[in-house]
Chain A
């Protein structure tokens, strides 16, 4: 393999190493980044993200919704076609934009005070959880357009709502450590290979000529000696590496 390709390989390994370091530092040992709780001042019965607000896939997201006085609440993730149809007639807060870690833009949409059916009775949630005083989902965003909804169950509303969000990569910390180890090992290994290769290039080669004297005796001479001696018929030309030569034991 040419030296250039080795260097490319080494650079890739270096990138992997740095990515691993960044991942490990950002995610931490629990593989996630947590923000909240954030208070949302509202008396509606549903908060929902508009289609296209959640733009990521494969991101591990945990949403925790807490309401006071043990009010029943539901948190769910569903295809936006389903979620928006479900809450279409409901007075709600729509999250129209969002920046991580927590920077939502919201719009109040008027409608009926309560959702048309209990969220727990619907079969199309990709993930959902109901509870008294709080509910949470821990889910990976899929490769489809989805919305997250926080819905008050029954006659309750979401007054006093607090939301916490955690983002992460499932097993992210372990993967980061893996990248660090693999990247570092490959950088070192490639470096070792390249250094050794350079050493091999430094080996001095001696050319030895075998000449035959007038009396028929063969002897070895160097190239310099050959030049001094003048014209000779070269019988054999041998390349000798500059390595220790084992001496034959005396007989």
Chain B
């Protein structure tokens, strides 16, 4: 308590300013409530919770299993009775004339529960074996399908686009055109007589800056015949520098068997790795 401010009682009081997250507001007055003597209990039977009412006094004794409530008897299905065999089946007009067999009296008591006929043992074992075989087949099929899916995700199947002679086709940020294939003299012809050296001229036009990479890393190139055999193609002369939109020329050499010289076709994959895998998009140039 200070002399200057008689209001200052030494007890901290919340500031009069607007309450914020930091300054607590004044406690709101709560309405008075009677705490003593304790308030009246709720009157019995006023609860909405579905609990059976417990009367005051000793609970009435009752059987642990309540007697079953008599249900209204269900409509009894007409039991199938085979009509007595009386010669060949008669047409309906004639059947109408035959007096129907007297309906059996409806049983007063509920009919006994229908039991299914037991399955023969052979059929049961057969069903079990068939189930085991079916489940095994399904398991193996699922595993095979999964492995195939994973393999095709890693190595996408080849998607080869056939390019007609002299045409240009786009693959991997560049346009490619086969200019020509000619034979060369093989320096090792004396040692390996059965083969011919081919010289292949290929033109590449990069579409963008990514396409200029082929000057440094040539694409995956192979010669292939109709039967699926492939031969190496090595770049002999690559353009020193590729510029987007400007055609560059590759000179490639390859060795193929003599009899395949006119049949092999150049296949082009985006990079050597995909060429080795033979997967993904590719171009195949007609001669």
B is a partner of A: no
